[in-house]
């Protein structure tokens, strides 16, 4: 649902002339794509998560120093095996619609995820390790896990585990009207234009620290985003287009923020489609890719060539893992060995902001004889095509998908399992190329239940090697997190991976 060029101009015009934009108490935030849902459990997009964050809370939260802290749970404990977890809930909390927050609400929130018939986008990973969630008393809940899961507490801070009003969920309105317990509540959602959030006067934590209102707009046009920050029509832009980073950094009226990120960009190859079902072809495409050139051309240096499916900030990352070198001759030989001495034709689907990336890959792969058809799509259309099942992709002739994934600092399993685990094949998960490798599944399952950190990370090293060897993805680069603010804005920070946190932001 990313904006087209015309729509983006309309959004800016609205920001320029809206009386809301002139108010110092309104924080204007511009991102690159529209929200995919108002239900945090039915979306997995970083920028949607940023927009929803001021309105929703989980049992735990992550601090700006990235440590975990109490939120809607005040304390918790587990049994010695790490299989039974008991949480005491915070008293005196209500959802924005007046529904009380209690154990019944928590049970209903997880029941909707554990029910496969609901088909919520963020549910899959929860069903792999949560067996049941029950109420011990009105303010105590107990989770029973199928096996020990080291990332369990971290996962409770993510979108899938944020609490929505059970009443709103039952009414079927949560997808378009956010109802959480957070310091801000939904004031207005004008689809295709903006989302306005206002302070929650009944917040359990007292008066919210941030500005009076947060207004979110979006555009897929980097120049529009830069112009909005320059003119003051946007107070925060995220992610900042790398092409403007040096310009912003040199302007005393603005602040450039950059940090090591966890978003790995890749191209998922359709392993059900010939000739991409041949590992030699997939490896050839990796050798035909000049990652350093992509970092320079696309990211202006604000990224690192990927040598692994994990980002360097992710626990278990193996910095010694050998990446595919840029070697066109080797790519040609592998293609010849696979029966394609003259190359072949294939397609890739990209969202508008990634179109340039597709075009650069097109030029690189042409040198190896691969003719790449780059299909540019608006975000909503792209999402439908990207998460199509094998029959759908066969019908559409979709050979590959350009995308990225970030597990933040929530553990390697959240990077591997959605993207490479066989049961995560689209449309159930984000395994967009239908990769199916039993030995990888076995390693991931073993790692996910290994509590010893060293032993677990050793398993993830094995997993990285399997993914690199089998090449279901063409790994591209890991981005730095870039965002920018006007100089008078304070209190914004970013979770590795690009989710900005603005609920405590102030504006002088």
Confidence of residue 20 (pLDDT cuts 50, 70, 90): very low
pLDDT(309) > 70: yes
As a whole number, mean pLDDT of residues 296-301 equals 94
Which helix (H) or strand (E) is 60 found in, with range? strand 60-62
How far apart are the C-alpha atoms of 381 and 70, rounded to whole Å? Answer: 38
pLDDT(426) > 60: yes
- Spatial neighbors of 493 by CB under 8 A, at least 6 apart, are 64, 500, 501
pLDDT tens-place string over residues 181-199:
999 999 999 998 999 999 9
Q: Following DSSP, what letter does each residue of 251-265 receive, concatenated?
A: -TTEEEEEEEEEEEE
pLDDT recorded at residue 123: 82
- What does the DSSP 8-state code read for residue 396? H
pLDDT(5) > 70: no
Cβ atoms 444, 421 nearer than 8 A: yes
| 327 vs 378, more confident | 327
pLDDT tens-place string over residues 428-482:
889 999 999 999 999 999 998 888 899 999 999 999 999 999 999 999 999 999 9
pLDDT recorded at residue 22: 40
Residues in the chain: 508
How far apart are the C-alpha atoms of 215 and 34, rounded to whole Å? Answer: 12
pLDDT tens-place string over residues 365-374:
999 999 999 9
As a whole number, mean pLDDT of residues 350-368 equals 95
Name beta bridge partners: 376: 350
pLDDT recorded at residue 353: 83
- Kindly state the tokens that stand for 124: 């899959």
pLDDT recorded at residue 8: 30
pLDDT recorded at residue 414: 87
CA 450 remoteness from chain centre: 25
- What does the DSSP 8-state code read for residue 101? P
Which helix (H) or strand (E) is 223 found in, with range? helix 222-231
Which helix (H) or strand (E) is 88 found in, with range? strand 84-89
pLDDT tens-place string over residues 66-115:
899 999 999 999 999 999 999 999 999 999 999 999 999 999 999 999 99
Q: Which of 403, 405, 427 is nearest to 416 (CA)?
A: 405
pLDDT tens-place string over residues 123-141:
877 888 999 999 999 999 9
pLDDT recorded at residue 411: 85
- Spatial neighbors of 357 by CB under 8 A, at least 6 apart, are 265, 294, 298, 350, 402, 476
How far apart are the C-alpha atoms of 353 and 358, rounded to whole Å? Answer: 10
pLDDT(319) > 60: yes
pLDDT(502) > 70: yes
Distances (CA, A) of 57 to 150, 323, 388: 21, 39, 31
| 57 vs 406, more confident | 57
As a whole number, mean pLDDT of residues 304-316 equals 93
How far apart are the C-alpha atoms of 369 and 130, rounded to whole Å? Answer: 47
Hey, how many other C-beta atoms are within 10 angstroms of the C-beta on 263?
22
Hunting for tokens 């809301």 — which residue is that? 20
Distances (CA, A) of 378 to 32, 218, 222, 428, 430: 12, 13, 15, 22, 18
Q: Which residues of 330-342 are buried (b: 16+ CB within 10 A; e: fewer)?
A: bbbbbbeebebee
| CB-count exposure of residue 454 (10 Å: 0-12, 13-18, 19+) | exposed
pLDDT recorded at residue 442: 97
DSSP H helical ranges for 36-127: 46-52, 103-114, 124-127
- Kindly state the tokens that stand for 1: 């649902």
How far apart are the C-alpha atoms of 216 and 414, rounded to whole Å? Answer: 28
How far apart are the C-alpha atoms of 231 and 16, rounded to whole Å? Answer: 9
Hunting for tokens 């890991």 — which residue is that? 478
As a whole number, mean pLDDT of residues 345-356 equals 94
3-state secondary structure of 381: helix
pLDDT recorded at residue 24: 56
pLDDT tens-place string over residues 381-407:
998 999 999 999 999 999 999 999 988
pLDDT recorded at residue 311: 94
Q: Following DSSP, what letter does each residue of 258-286 receive, concatenated?
A: EEEEEEEEEEEE-TTSTTTTSHHHHHHHH
pLDDT tens-place string over residues 140-184:
999 999 999 888 999 999 998 999 999 999 999 999 999 999 999
pLDDT recorded at residue 10: 30
């Amino acid at each position: 649902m990313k904006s087209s060029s015309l729509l983006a101009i309309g959004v800016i015009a609205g920001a320029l002339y809206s009386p809301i934009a002139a108010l110092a108490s309104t924080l204007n935030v511009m991102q690159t794509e529209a929200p995919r849902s108002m239900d945090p459990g039915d979306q997995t997009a970083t920028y949607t998560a940023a927009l929803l964050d001021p309105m929703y809370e989980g049992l735990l939260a992550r601090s700006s120093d990235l440590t975990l802290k109490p939120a809607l749970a005040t304390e918790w404990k587990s049994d010695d095996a790490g299989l039974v977890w008991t949480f005491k809930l915070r008293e005196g909390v209500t959802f924005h619609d007046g529904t009380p927050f209690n154990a019944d609400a928590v049970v209903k929130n997880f029941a909707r995820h554990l029910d496969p018939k609901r088909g919520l986008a963020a549910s899959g990973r929860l069903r792999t390790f949560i067996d049941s969630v029950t109420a011990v008393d009105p303010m105590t809940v107990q989770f029973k896990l199928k096996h020990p899961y080291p990332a369990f507490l971290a996962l409770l801070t993510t979108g899938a585990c944020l609490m929505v009003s059970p009443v709103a969920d039952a009414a079927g309105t949560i997808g378009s009207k956010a109802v959480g317990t957070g310091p801000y509540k939904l004031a207005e959602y004008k689809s295709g234009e903006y989302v306005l959030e206002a302070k929650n006067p009944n917040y359990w934590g007292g008066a919210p620290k941030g500005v009076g209102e947060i207004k979110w707009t979006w555009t897929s046009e980097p120049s529009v985003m830069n112009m909005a920050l320059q003119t003051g029509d946007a107070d925060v832009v995220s992610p900042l287009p790398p092409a403007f980073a040096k310009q912003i950094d040199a302007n005393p009226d603005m602040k450039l923020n950059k940090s090591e990120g966890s978003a790995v960009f890749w191209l998922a190859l359709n392993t059900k489609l010939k000739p991409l079902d041949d590992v030699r072809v997939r490896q050839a495409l990796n050798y035909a890719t000049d990652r350093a050139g992509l970092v320079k051309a696309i990211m202006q240096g604000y990224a690192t060539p990927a040598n692994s499916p994990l980002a360097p900030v992710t626990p278990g990352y193996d910095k010694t893992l050998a990446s595919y070198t840029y070697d066109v001759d080797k790519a040609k030989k592998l293609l010849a060995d696979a029966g394609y001495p003259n190359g072949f034709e294939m397609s890739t689907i990209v969202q508008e902001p990634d179109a340039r990336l597709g075009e650069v890959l097109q030029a690189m792969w042409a040198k190896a004889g691969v003719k790449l058809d780059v299909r540019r799509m608006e975000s909503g259309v792209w999402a439908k095509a990207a998460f199509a099942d094998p029959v759908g992709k066969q019908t559409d002739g979709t050979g590959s998908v350009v995308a990225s994934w970030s597990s933040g600092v929530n553990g390697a399993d959240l990077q591997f399992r959605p993207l490479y685990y066989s049961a995560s094949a689209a449309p159930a998960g984000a395994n967009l190329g239908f990769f199916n490798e039993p030995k990888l599944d076995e390693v991931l399952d073993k790692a996910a239940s290994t509590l010893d950190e060293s032993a677990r990370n050793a398993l993830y090293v094995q997993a990285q090697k399997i993914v690199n060897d089998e090449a279901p993805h063409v790994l591209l680069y890991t981005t730095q997190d870039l965002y920018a603010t006007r100089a008078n804005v304070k209190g914004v920070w970013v979770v590795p991976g690009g989710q900005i946190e603005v609920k405590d932001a102030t504006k002088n």
